Amino acid sequence: TGPEGGASQPCVTVVIRVEQKEGVARKNTGKELTEKKVGLQLCFSVRAAVIGPVVSWGRDPKNKPMMEREVGPEKEKVILVFSGVCSRWFPLLQPGTFYRLVAANTQDPSVLIGCRVSGRSGVELHTEATLQVRSDWRLHTLTRLLQDPTCTQVEPPPVLSVSQVLDCSSELVCVQGQVCERVAVSSRTAESGSSHTGVRLTMCDQTGQRLQVYLDLRHAPYPPGLLPGNTLLLSGVQRKMSRSGGVYCSFLPVSCISVMSLGDSRCAPPPPVPRMHLAQWAGTDQHKCNMAQVKGHVACFLFLQLQWSCSQCGSVYSQVCRSQCGSSCSQFESRAKVVIEDGTGEAHVCFSGGPLQTLLGLADSQWEGLQRAVRVRGHVRIFPQGRSLVCDGDSDDFLHHFLFCVCSSDVMCRPIALTCRRLTNQRPEEVRRFTRGDREFMTRLPRPLQLTCVHLEPD
């Protein structure tokens, strides 16, 4: 499991058992840097148990069965640091597995002996030895072990489902589930104005329960395989409670991602979700039912917004970026909010992307033509005013007239079936005072349920 160069040269080896693995991050290690490579490097570290002494070989033993001379009575711990090109070993190394670490083209056993932090006399240091892995070293997985108590496989931490993570009390968990949604998250600092990127994954299991996992990618590379439909194993993630009582997970430096199976997001059936009436859903704890199927009737449009945005700075993009950032990349964004009622109550539902195209009843060619027309202006917004619609531009324009006809048509106010997610920032009840004659009345008006459509059944 490594480069073939140096396989016939003398080498020294040591057998280790991986106990813990950090995630890959960009760090300033200061190791093996040249003038052309100054800056942050991909880096991760592994905590391992040293099974035996350093052994000399005439040639690389690769993954031959473990020898008795490679096992020693004392088991020390070592921190292996992988940086630069050595970060390629990250997918191979797994906790609980035995490996033979090979230092080629040398017979000096000291190269595989980690260094410790020096301290003053009389001071006991509880630190583990650290060993910087070099670019020409190799690692081989050992599957044929000695019948020795020290060479027994270590039980990995239990893997929990999404439902088990929601109900457990552990702080550090390993969770496996299917990715049903991936959302890019960015935040801008007030001082520098720079954007910190991250990813929010929504994972689900067979019961329909959902868990949100937040990945901070400011100092880490983008992990491959974060696609809807894929099954992921997230090891060493931190389980947290939000201020509103919801459960979510966040990545730590020791967290890892493994893709267990690939799925086709276009063919994967949506996870099972309950069917709810709007009044019933409004009275349900939002942490117990975050997503549900709704059947209702479109009452009216509250607003419709179509816009081209700069991919770099987020400003309005009409032919060129209006903020003069120089970027030539843009993306189309569509958003609308409509009132849905089902006889038990009403809700304000946000639509975007594909569900909005389905709601408007536009074919692919019409949707693409609409995007081209909006690109000339940059953005189009239409708002309600009584039973009519007003816009923020020229109402005589053909584009605004077309959108007015679509949103106000009788065909638009039709029965629909959709799967919605409940927003967490539900507005509280509104208290109003009414005066009738010499009497004053106070009443509480419940706010409409705020939902986001994730799937709309075609007509």
Predicted TM-score (pTM) of the model is 0.51
User: What gap in Å lies between CA 201 and CA 228, rounded to an integer?
Assistant: 9
Question: What CATH number does the domain containing 342 carry?
Answer: 2.40.50
Q: CA of 91: how far to CAs of 21, 192, 432, 441, in Å? A: 10, 35, 60, 67
Ranges 85-99, 128-142, 312-326, 373-387: which has the least confidence: 312-326
Indicate whether 63 and 165 sit together in one domain. Answer: no
pLDDT at 190: 41
Whether 269 is in a domain gets the answer no
pLDDT one-digit tens code per residue, 178-200: 998 888 876 554 444 445 578 89
Last residue in a domain, options 151, 180, 208: 151
Interval 20-30 mean pLDDT: 76
Whether 179 is in a domain gets the answer yes
pLDDT at 191: 45
Indicate whether 68 and 27 sit together in one domain. Answer: yes
Indicate whether 143 and 166 sit together in one domain. Answer: no
Whether 11 contacts 50, CB under 8 Å: no
Residue with tokens 């003069």: 324
Indicate whether 194 and 336 sit together in one domain. Answer: no
Q: Where does the pLDDT of residue 326 fall: very low under 50, low under 70, confident under 90, or very high at 90 and above?
A: low
Whether 3 is in a domain gets the answer no
Indicate whether 144 and 185 sit together in one domain. Answer: no
Indicate whether 145 and 212 sit together in one domain. Answer: no
For 125, the domain range is 11-151
Whether 267 is in a domain gets the answer no
User: What gap in Å lies between CA 90 and CA 22, rounded to an integer?
Assistant: 9
**Pick from 238, 208, 186, 270: which is nearest to 23 by CA?**
238
Per the prediction, the chain carries an average pLDDT of 80
Last residue in a domain, options 124, 151, 178: 151
Whether 266 is in a domain gets the answer no
pLDDT at 119: 45
Indicate whether 423 and 315 sit together in one domain. Answer: yes
Using the CB atoms, write b or e for 396-416: b if 16+ within 10 Å: eeebbeebbebbbeeebeeeb
Whether 2 is in a domain gets the answer no
Considering 118-127, 128-137, 393-402, the range whose residues carry the highest mean pLDDT is 128-137
Count how many domains the chain has.
3
Indicate whether 286 and 367 sit together in one domain. Answer: yes
In this predicted structure, the answer to whether residue 99 has a pLDDT above a threshold of 80 is yes
Whether 26 is in a domain gets the answer yes
User: What gap in Å lies between CA 443 and CA 189, rounded to an integer?
Assistant: 42
Whether 271 is in a domain gets the answer no
Indicate whether 324 and 355 sit together in one domain. Answer: yes
Indicate whether 174 and 130 sit together in one domain. Answer: no
Indicate whether 110 and 130 sit together in one domain. Answer: yes
